[in-house]
Amino acid sequence: MGKKTMIQEENEPSFLQLEAEVVKVIKTIYDPEIPVNIYDLGLIYEIDVDEYNNLDVQMTLTTPNCPVADQLVAQVNQELRAIDGIKRVIVNLVFDPPWNKDMMSEVAKLELGFL
């Protein structure tokens, strides 16, 4: 994750606040076919907020042939753009490494009956 190197403006959210808000927002987004949020599913590979509050997210899908791929990436982009303090959002869809169920959080595994 990126680090804030510039002095914070008084009303500007800190790096840690932005990072926490990004995770909070991502945890509200669900794969329409699976009743678990995309963060706990392990679909978010990287979140990087730079010193200018630009946000880059690396995410994947449970399968490259996911029928809702465009919709899901667009939703992530839209929801993250709405966060106060974020200047720019880039969501990159990647498939390396390929997603597998071991990438899910314990919460997701429990919810889906893998534990």
User: What is the residue-averaged pLDDT of the chain?
Assistant: 89
Per-residue burial over 30-41, b = 16 or more CB atoms within 10 Å of its CB, e = otherwise: ebeeeebbbbbb
Q: What is the pLDDT at residue 5? A: 40
H helices present in 1-115, as ranges: 15-26, 69-81, 106-111
As a whole-number percent, the residues of the chain with pLDDT over 90 amount to 73
The CATH class, in words, for 15-107 is alpha beta
Higher pLDDT, 20 or 115: 20
pTM of the predicted model, to two decimals? 0.84
Q: pLDDT tens digits, residue range 24-37?
A: 999 999 988 899 99
Q: pLDDT tens digits, residue range 74-84?
A: 999 999 999 99
